């Protein structure tokens, strides 16, 4: 078995050529921290890109794209981005809407045939916002290396009731975006892979991005590894249709993020109105918001919009963050599944290096959370509180939906919960806390109603 310590080289900050000027390097203090973090989390290979004003201003590479062939990670290394691809699927749906082929409030059964009867009335908008109530097929079809055509998915899930009535609650379910992929194919008459290549990536001039085809050779694609058992192994090789599905089936290189950032920042692929809708939170039947748009988690930091998403498939993890008011995007892609989710703050660490004071990472500690909120947060973060009377109805429905498939994250022991920022939201107030647990700080976003009910925890 390979020893990661002998195989994974330290990272290097690279200058990129785009305008003829050398891009600034990330500070050595940061790259040293990142190299140590990657080794601690058993990351085989990684690429960290920072885009500002539509151009890459920093790139950092770590380790290997392939262990047996000793291939380092480069600017053109392709990584599977998992669920980060959901917003690409959303853009395709918005194009079909602007072309008059669908309306977002149409029931999905009007356009996609052979769906279970109780799925057909769900609106396209519910699917985009993850408020449909559909169970997550990943909880039931976990064999990534076996084909999962439509009839297999609908047979596996079709006898199950919806988790809640559409619009009553929010539940992250990959099924939503899988079904949207079927919509794209049925309405356009093209495969999902062809549609995104011809209608999205080609007009945006992405040099390498494409749909995955995990069972076939793809030039410059990183090899997937798994390090969750304490040693590095090859990850499960996904079946082609699973690796290219619309809920998370795309490959991106570092060279693709600058043109893609420009495409997200201005009308072109879709109108400004559609871009605005993509970054607008869902509103539930309770009248309160959920900080999720069309394929993006949404929030604010330092009073400005903040968008992010993560993605994970066997052997790959991605985290992307946007600060549109500063025209910044940062993305970390790695080719190894790790057992710890503490890499999520790496893109923000890079943003802070390029634009100091731009994120909540550099905010000073505020006061310790006050009671009863502190006790309620401790309960949530240590595996309790899900059936308490201070849980808002929509969050209670989500908790019932995920149990027992998605146990709560457990941060223990908790040394401190300090408020770092807050901002108003539809139906309440969002508060971000810095939680000291173990050897790293984590950040938790909580939404509170005026009477102290918890309606968001993320």
Model pLDDT, residue 28: 92
Rounded Cα–Cα distance for residues 109 and 114 (Å):
8
**Backbone phi, psi, residue 36, to 5°:** -65, -40
Instruction: Indicate whether 339 and 418 sit together in one domain.
Output: no
Secondary structure element (H or E) that encloses residue 373, with its range: helix 373-381
Instruction: Indicate whether 152 and 300 sit together in one domain.
Output: yes
Rounded Cα–Cα distance for residues 291 and 283 (Å):
9
Query: Mean pLDDT, the chain, as a whole number?
Result: 90
Detail the DSSP E strand segments found in 253-337: 282-283, 289-290, 297-301, 304-313, 316-323, 328-334, 336-337
Contacts of 362 (CB under 8 A, 6+ apart): 352, 356
Identify the CA nearest to 93 among candidates 81, 83, 79, 103: 103
Q: Which of 31-45, 129-143, 152-166, 192-206 has the highest mean pLDDT?
A: 192-206
Model pLDDT, residue 343: 80
Tell me the Cα Rg of the chain.
21
pLDDT digits (tens, 9 = 90+) for 383-398: 888 889 999 999 999 9
Residue 292: CATH number of its domain: 3.40.710.10
CA dist 163 to 7, 124, 170, 281, 435, Å? 45, 17, 10, 21, 31
Q: What counts of helices (H) and strands (E) characterise the chain?
A: 14, 20
Q: Is the pLDDT of residue 34 over 60?
A: yes
Rounded Cα–Cα distance for residues 413 and 128 (Å):
37
From 302, 331, 362, give the residue that closes a domain.
362
**Any domain includes 248:** yes
Residues 12-31, mean pLDDT to the nearest whole number:
59
Residue 416: CATH number of its domain: 3.10.450
Instruction: Indicate whether 87 and 157 sit together in one domain.
Output: yes
Instruction: Indicate whether 48 and 172 sit together in one domain.
Output: yes
Instruction: Indicate whether 298 and 401 sit together in one domain.
Output: no
Contacts of 227 (CB under 8 A, 6+ apart): 4, 41, 42, 43, 44, 233, 336, 337, 338, 339
**Any domain includes 402:** yes
Q: Residue 314 is encoded by which pair of tokens?
A: 């066997």
Instruction: Indicate whether 344 and 399 sit together in one domain.
Output: no
If pLDDT is split at 50, 70 and 90, which confidence band does 201 have?
very high
For residues 144 and 435, which has the higher predicted lDDT (pLDDT)? 435
Rounded Cα–Cα distance for residues 126 and 282 (Å):
9
**Any domain includes 357:** yes
Contact 269, 93 (CB under 8 A): no
From 362, 387, 403, give the residue that closes a domain.
362
3-state class (DSSP) for residue 427: coil
Instruction: Indicate whether 381 and 317 sit together in one domain.
Output: no
For residues 426 and 153, which has the higher predicted lDDT (pLDDT)? 426
**Any domain includes 91:** yes
Instruction: Indicate whether 257 and 277 sit together in one domain.
Output: yes
**Any domain includes 338:** yes
Secondary structure element (H or E) that encloses residue 69, with its range: none
Model pLDDT, residue 241: 82
Handedness of CA 373, 374, 377, 382 (dihedral sign): negative
What length does the chain have?
458
**Any domain includes 133:** yes
If pLDDT is split at 50, 70 and 90, which confidence band does 404 have?
low
For residues 12 and 180, which has the higher predicted lDDT (pLDDT)? 180
For residues 231 and 371, which has the higher predicted lDDT (pLDDT)? 371
DSSP codes joined into one string, 298-322: EEEETTEEEEEEEEEETTEEEEEEE
Q: Is the pLDDT of residue 40 over 70?
A: yes
Residue with tokens 């939404």: 447
Instruction: Indicate whether 97 and 235 sit together in one domain.
Output: yes
pLDDT digits (tens, 9 = 90+) for 42-98: 899 999 999 999 999 999 999 999 999 999 999 999 999 999 999 999 999 999 999
Model pLDDT, residue 319: 96
**Any domain includes 368:** no
pLDDT digits (tens, 9 = 90+) for 246-293: 999 999 999 999 999 999 999 999 999 999 999 999 999 999 999 999
Instruction: Indicate whether 240 and 151 sit together in one domain.
Output: yes
**Any domain includes 367:** no
Contacts of 302 (CB under 8 A, 6+ apart): 357, 358, 359, 360, 363, 421
Instruction: Indicate whether 306 and 435 sit together in one domain.
Output: no
Instruction: Indicate whether 6 and 113 sit together in one domain.
Output: yes
Model pLDDT, residue 240: 81
pLDDT digits (tens, 9 = 90+) for 321-370: 999 999 999 999 999 988 655 688 999 999 999 999 999 999 999 999 99
Q: How many domains does the chain have?
A: 2
Residue range of the domain that includes 412: 373-457
Contact 311, 74 (CB under 8 A): no
From 306, 341, 362, give the residue that closes a domain.
362
Largest CA-CA distance found in the chain, in angstroms, rounded: 60
Model pLDDT, residue 7: 26
Contact 193, 223 (CB under 8 A): no
pLDDT digits (tens, 9 = 90+) for 96-150: 999 999 999 999 999 999 999 999 999 999 999 999 999 999 888 777 677 778 8
Contact 88, 231 (CB under 8 A): no
């Amino acid at each position: 078995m390979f020893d990661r310590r002998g195989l994974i080289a330290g990272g290097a900050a690279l200058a990129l050529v785009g305008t003829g000027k050398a891009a600034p390097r990330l500070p050595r203090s940061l790259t040293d921290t990142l190299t140590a973090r990657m080794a601690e989390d058993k990351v085989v290979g990684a690429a960290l890109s920072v885009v500002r004003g539509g151009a890459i201003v920093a790139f950092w590479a770590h380790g290997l794209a392939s262990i047996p062939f000793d291939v380092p990670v480069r600017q053109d290394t392709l990584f599977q981005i998992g669920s980060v691809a959901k917003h690409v699927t959303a853009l395709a749906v918005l194009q079909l809407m602007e072309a008059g082929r669908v309306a977002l409030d149409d029931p999905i059964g009007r356009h996609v045939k052979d769906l279970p009867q109780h799925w057909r009335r769900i609106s396209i908008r519910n699917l985009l916002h993850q408020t449909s109530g559909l169970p997550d097929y990943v909880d039931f079809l976990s064999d990534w290396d076996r084909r999962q055509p439509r009839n297999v998915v609908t047979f596996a899930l079709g006898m199950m009731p919806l988790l809640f009535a559409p619009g009553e609650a929010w539940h992250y379910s990959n099924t939503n975006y899988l079904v949207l992929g079927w919509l794209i194919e049925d309405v356009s008459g093209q495969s999902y892979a062809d549609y995104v290549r011809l209608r999205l990536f080609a007009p945006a001039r992405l040099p390498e991005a494409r749909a995955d085809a995990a069972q076939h050779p793809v030039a410059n694609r990183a090899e997937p590894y798994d390090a969750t058992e304490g040693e590095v192994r090859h990850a499960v090789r996904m079946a082609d249709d699973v690796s290219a599905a619309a809920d998370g089936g795309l490959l991106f290189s570092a060279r693709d993020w600058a043109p893609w950032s420009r495409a997200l920042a201005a009308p072109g692929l879709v109108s400004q109105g559609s871009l605005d809708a993509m970054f607008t939170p869902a509103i539930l039947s309770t009248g309160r918001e959920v900080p999720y748009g069309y394929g993006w988690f949404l929030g604010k930091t330092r009073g400005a919009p903040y968008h992010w998403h993560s993605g994970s498939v066997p052997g790959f993890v991605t985290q992307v963050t946007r600060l549109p008011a500063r025209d910044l995007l940062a993305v970390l892609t790695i080719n190894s599944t790790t057992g710890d989710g503490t890499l999520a703050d790496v893109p923000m660490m890079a943003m802070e290096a390029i634009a100091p004071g731009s994120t909540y990472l550099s905010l000073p500690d505020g006061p310790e959370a006050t009671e009863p909120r502190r006790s309620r947060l401790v309960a949530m973060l240590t595996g309790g509180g899900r059936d308490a009377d201070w849980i808002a109805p929509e969050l209670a429905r989500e908790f019932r939906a995920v149990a027992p498939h998605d146990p709560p994250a457990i941060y223990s022991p908790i040394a401190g919960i300090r408020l770092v920022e807050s901002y108003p939201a539809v139906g309440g107030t969002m508060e971000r806390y810095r939680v000291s647990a173990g050897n790293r700080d984590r950040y938790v976003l909580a939404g509170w109603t005026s009477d102290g009910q918890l309606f968001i925890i993320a």
